[in-house]
Structures are given as structure tokens and as C-alpha cells.
Amino acid sequence: CCYPDDEEYNDKTLAIVDVAKNRNGSQGEVRLNFLQEFTLFEDRTDDKSLSSVVPEEEHADEGTEIDI
């Protein structure tokens, strides 16, 4: 990704996170999209759709919110 002839070289939305340590998990590079207007990182998908977003109702029983 860091060479001028790579197709990703001029992609200003590409962020590469190097996971060097991960307890009980995989290691390696994770490619993310950076949305500058929202200061947000999101999963990088080929079709740029929101298909990777999990609906809230699937997480309803995982915990409760606490107002502080």
C-alpha cells in the first residue's frame, strides 16, 4: 500500500491498522475506511453498502444501558 504504483496509494479514505497482539484472536492488517466529515472509521467493503451493519434488535439482550 505504501508504494506509488499501488492502486491504494492515492486512496485518502484507506486506513490500515496493524494488529500485532490479540489475545485469543488473529493478527495482521485490518483495512478500514476513514470518513473525514464524521471523523469515523468503518469496515471496508467492496460495494460500499451498509450490509455489514447489525440491526440493534439483535443486541437487545446483551446488556443494559446505564445513565450516569
Which helix (H) or strand (E) segment holds residue 31: the answer is strand 28-35
Residue whose C-alpha cell is 446505564: 66
Q: What confidence tens digit (pLDDT) does each residue in 6-57 have?
A: 777 788 899 989 999 989 989 999 999 999 999 999 998 765 444 444 445 5
pTM as predicted: 0.53
Of 36, 40, 34, give the one whose Cα is nearest residue 8: 34
Give the closest residue to 32 by CA, choosing from 67, 63, 1, 64: 1
At 57, phi and psi to the nearest 5? -60, -20
How large is the C-alpha radius of gyration of the chain?
16
